[in-house]
Chain A
Amino acid sequence: ETGVTQTPRHLVMGMTNKKSLKCEQHLGHNAMYWYKQSAKKPLELMFVYSLEERVENNSVPSRFSPECPNSSHLFLHLHTLQPEDSALYLCASSQYTGTGNNEKLFFGSGTQLSVL
């Protein structure tokens, strides 16, 4: 079983739909992340959860709503999205110590989202 699993792999939704992206990590990590990857742009950090507490919300519109019920699971709830929200959404996890700068992120394969 891969370390970080994301479902679904592909999602097409209309602007009025409500959907959720799911991420699960099997690495025993204590921090989870959502990144957005758009064409020709750097990865954008959206949310960070450390020990199940949201520690960063990078000015993301409220139509994106994260949820972290436990240290192994992370969701991204989507509602009334816009076409410009179409992108690859990547989940990652890490073992956050709070003292170093060498902590690696382990990524899932992402959910390719298309908003029509």
Chain B
Amino acid sequence: AQKITQTQPGMFVQEKEAVTLDCTYDTSDPSYGLFWYKQPSSGEMIFLIYQGSYDQQNATEGRYSLNFQKARKSANLVISASQLGDSAMYFCAMREGRGNNRLAFGKGNQVVVIP
């Protein structure tokens, strides 16, 4: 069964606007970590933000914030003030439990920022 679900079609976003990327996850483990990565056309996966299951506050990193709704098992990424360089694929990922080497990824969301 798929652990991470990202179902949005490709998105076009106006420069300087905010965009929200949806991610839902499935786990029965009370301890887990959620990650978002960005993959531009160069291919490298770039870490953006992390949220722990026990974290009381939503994670923020510069223009990136994570809307963590634990009861709904969702971890949406919000990018504020979009820039042309934000055009990329965005992947949600989860590590279940502690001391687990396995990071499971979703299929990704394509974002294109237009001027």
Q: Is B28 an interface residue (CB 8 A)?
A: no
Q: Which residues of B contact A105 (CB under 8 A)?
A: 45, 47, 103
A-facing mask of B1-39, CB < 8 A → 1, else 0?
010100000000000000000000000000111010100
Q: Is A48 an interface residue (CB 8 A)?
A: yes
| Nearest A residue to B103, CB-CB | A105
Question: Within A63-116, which residues are at the interface with B (CB < 8 Å)?
Answer: 88, 90, 92, 96-110, 112
Contacts between the two chains (Cβ within 8 Å), count: 66
A101, B97: Cβ atoms under 8 Å? yes
A107, B45: Cβ atoms under 8 Å? yes
Question: Within B38-52, which residues are at the interface with A (CB < 8 Å)?
Answer: 42-47, 50, 52
Interface size on A, residues (CB 8 A): 30
Q: Interface residues, chain B, CB within 8 Å of chain A?
A: 2, 4, 31-33, 35, 37, 42-47, 50, 52-53, 91, 95-108
Q: Interface residues, chain A, CB within 8 Å of chain B?
A: 31, 33, 40-43, 45, 48, 50, 55-56, 88, 90, 92, 96-110, 112
Q: List 27 A-B contacts (CB under 8 A).
A: A40-B107, A42-B4, A42-B105, A42-B106, A43-B91, A43-B105, A48-B102, A90-B43, A90-B45, A97-B99, A98-B99, A100-B33, A100-B98, A101-B31, A101-B32, A101-B33, A101-B52, A101-B53, A101-B95, A101-B97, A101-B98, A103-B95, A104-B47, A105-B47, A107-B45, A109-B42, A112-B43
